């Protein structure tokens, strides 16, 4: 046999370990509760992020986003944030807010936007983007693709 035996041995070992773990789990009668990992951005919890001032938040971002914030927040991003706040305010508990359409692909996602739905223009139509905690510090345009991928 010219082929090495170690990949096969490893495969068998993995299979046996999985089978053992499944049997060990089967012994417990009560179902295991799912624990959700609490999200933190650069070591700061989500609820603390919402309380940060723009200056403190700016220091957590990467260099390009920091530069954009240090040069001042213009009127259009502020208007978008106001619309997002309004959309969030007008929704019932447990429901998703109305999408707010925008052309601001260069808007940096801040913690205040989490949970909102933004219609980001891709040059042809508005792509619905639900803002999640993992998106903080990224641009809205990163989540609305502008071309149709070819096969």
Question: pLDDT tens-digit profile of 90-137?
Answer: 998 889 999 999 999 999 999 999 999 999 999 999 999 999 989 999
pLDDT at residue number 27: 55
Q: Model confidence over 10-30: pLDDT tens digits? A: 677 777 777 666 666 655 556
Q: Are 90 and 98 in contact (CB under 8 A)?
A: yes
Q: Which residues, including other chains, have CB under 8 Å from residue 133's CB and lie 6 or more apart?
A: 39, 41, 46, 111, 114
89's tokens: 């305010």
SS3 labels along 26-58: HCCCCCCCCCCCCCEECCEEHHHHHHCCHHHHH
Q: Mean pLDDT, the chain, as a whole number?
A: 85
Q: Global pTM?
A: 0.72
């Amino acid at each position: 046999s010219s082929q090495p035996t170690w990949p096969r041995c490893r495969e068998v070992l993995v299979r046996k370990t999985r089978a053992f773990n499944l049997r060990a789990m089967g012994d417990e009668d009560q179902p295991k509760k799912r624990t959700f990992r609490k999200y933190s951005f650069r070591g700061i919890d989500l609820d603390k992020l919402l309380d940060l001032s723009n200056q403190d938040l700016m220091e957590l971002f990467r260099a390009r986003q920091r530069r954009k914030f240090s040069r001042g927040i213009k009127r259009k991003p502020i208007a978008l944030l106001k619309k997002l706040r309004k959309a969030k305010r007008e929704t019932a508990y447990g429901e998703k807010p109305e999408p707010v359409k925008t052309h601001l692909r260069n808007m940096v996602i801040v913690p205040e936007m989490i949970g909102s739905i933004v219609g980001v223009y891709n040059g042809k139509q508005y792509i619905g983007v639900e803002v999640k905690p993992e998106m903080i510090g990224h641009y809205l345009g990163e989540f609305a693709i502008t071309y149709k991928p070819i096969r």
